[in-house]
Copies of this chain bind each other. A is one copy, B any other.
Amino acid sequence: MRSRRRDTDSSRALRSFESQRRDSSLRVRIDRAGARQGGADRGPPSASVRSLDALFSPRSVAVLGVSRNPAKLGYKLLENVKAYGYGGRIYPVNPSGERILDLPSVTSVAALPEPVDLALVSLPASAVADAIVDLAARGAKAAVILSSGFGEVDANGREAQARLLKTARASGLRLVGPNCMGVYSAPARLNGTYFWDLPKRAGGISVVSQSGAYGGLIFRHLGGRGLGVARFVSIGNQADVDLTDILEFLAADADTTLIACFVEALRDGRRFLDVAARATASKPVVMLKGGRSDAGRRAAGSHTGSLAGAYAVYRAAFRRAGVVTADETEEFFDAIEALAATPRRPSAPAIAVITVSGGPSVVAADCAERAGLAVPALEDAVRSALRASLPPFAAVGNPVDLTPQVEPSRIGDAIKLVFDQASIAGAVAIDVGLDIPEFADALVAEAVRTSKPVVAFATDAPAVSERLRSGGIPVLAGPERAVRAWRALWLAGRGAATRSAQTVRPLAPDVTALLAGTRGALPYDVARRALEACGVKFVREAIVQRPADAVAAAETMGYPVVVKADAPGLVHKTEVGGVRLDLRDAAQVRAACDDLRNRAGAERFIVQQQLAPGLEFLIGARRDEVFGPVVVVGAGGVLTEALGDVGIAVAPVTPADIQELMAEGVRARLANGPRGLPRVDVNALAETAIGVSDLILSEPRIREIDLNPVIASTSGMIAVDAVVVLD
CB pair A179–B393 under 8 Å, yes or no, is: yes
A567 at the interface (CB under 8 A from B): no
Contacts of A359 in B (CB 8 A): 209-215, 217, 262, 264, 290, 303
CB pair A302–B16 under 8 Å, yes or no, is: no
CB pair B669–A377 under 8 Å, yes or no, is: no
Contacts of A365 in B (CB 8 A): 293, 295-296, 298-299
Binds B, one of A30-38, A146-154, A525-533: A146-154
Given contacts A360-B214, A362-B264, A392-B153, contact A478 B148 (CB under 8 A): no
A466 at the interface (CB under 8 A from B): no
A377 to B360, CA, bound (A): 40
| Closest beta carbon of chain B to A314's beta carbon, Å | 12
A213 to B19, CA, bound (A): 41
Residue in A302, A479, A577 with the greatest tally of chain B CB atoms within 10 Å: A302
CB pair A148–B403 under 8 Å, yes or no, is: yes
Contacts of A459 in B (CB 8 A): 217, 220
Binds B, one of A164-172, A411-419, A672-680, A714-722: A672-680
A224 to B481, CA, bound (A): 18
| Closest beta carbon of chain B to A220's beta carbon, Å | 6
A675 to B578, CA, bound (A): 12
A329 at the interface (CB under 8 A from B): yes
**Closest Cβ neighbor of A211 among chain B residues:** B359
A24 to B219, CA, bound (A): 50
The 0/1 profile, CB within 8 Å of B marked 1, for residues 119-163 of chain A is 000000000000000000000000000001100111001000000
**Closest Cβ neighbor of A396 among chain B residues:** B302
A173 to B357, CA, bound (A): 29
Residue in A433, A642, A643 with the greatest tally of chain B CB atoms within 10 Å: A642
CB pair A432–B574 under 8 Å, yes or no, is: no
Q: Which of B300, B433, B644 sits near A216, CB closer than 8 Å? A: B433
Contacts of A361 in B (CB 8 A): 299
CB pair B363–A329 under 8 Å, yes or no, is: yes
CB pair B153–A369 under 8 Å, yes or no, is: no
Contacts of A92 in B (CB 8 A): none
Q: Which residues A478-531 have CB closer than 8 A to chain B?
A: 478-481
A546 at the interface (CB under 8 A from B): no
A213 to B677, CA, bound (A): 48
**Closest Cβ neighbor of A479 among chain B residues:** B329
CB pair B669–A362 under 8 Å, yes or no, is: no
A666 at the interface (CB under 8 A from B): yes
Q: Which of B149, B217, B330, B363 sits near A432, CB closer than 8 Å? A: B217
CB pair B220–A460 under 8 Å, yes or no, is: yes
| Closest beta carbon of chain B to A434's beta carbon, Å | 9
Contacts of A303 in B (CB 8 A): 358-359, 362, 393, 395, 401
Given contacts A213-B359, A330-B478, A479-B329, contact A641 B393 (CB under 8 A): no
Contacts of A481 in B (CB 8 A): 330
**Closest Cβ neighbor of A219 among chain B residues:** B433
Contacts of A302 in B (CB 8 A): 395-397, 401
The 0/1 profile, CB within 8 Å of B marked 1, for residues 456-481 of chain A is 00011000000000000000001111
Contacts of A666 in B (CB 8 A): 642-644, 666
Contacts of A149 in B (CB 8 A): 391-393
Q: Which residues A324-382 have CB closer than 8 A to chain B?
A: 328-330, 353, 355, 357-363, 365-370, 375, 377
A405 at the interface (CB under 8 A from B): yes
Given contacts A362-B290, A395-B303, A582-B582, contact A369 B479 (CB under 8 A): no
Given contacts A363-B288, A478-B330, A666-B643, contact A295 B375 (CB under 8 A): yes
User: 4 closest Cβ contacts across the A-B interface?
Assistant: A211-B359, A214-B359, A213-B357, A295-B375
Q: Give 20 A-B contacts (CB < 8 Å), ordered by A residue.
A: A149-B392, A153-B392, A195-B433, A210-B359, A211-B358, A214-B358, A214-B360, A220-B432, A290-B366, A293-B369, A296-B365, A298-B377, A299-B397, A328-B478, A328-B480, A330-B330, A330-B478, A330-B480, A582-B582, A640-B674
User: Interface of A with B (CB < 8 Å)?
Assistant: 16, 19, 148-149, 152-154, 157, 179, 195, 197, 209-217, 220, 262, 264, 288, 290-296, 298-300, 302-304, 308, 328-330, 353, 355, 357-363, 365-370, 375, 377, 391-393, 395-399, 401, 403, 405, 432-433, 459-460, 478-481, 572, 574-575, 577, 582, 584, 638-644, 666, 669-670, 672, 674-677
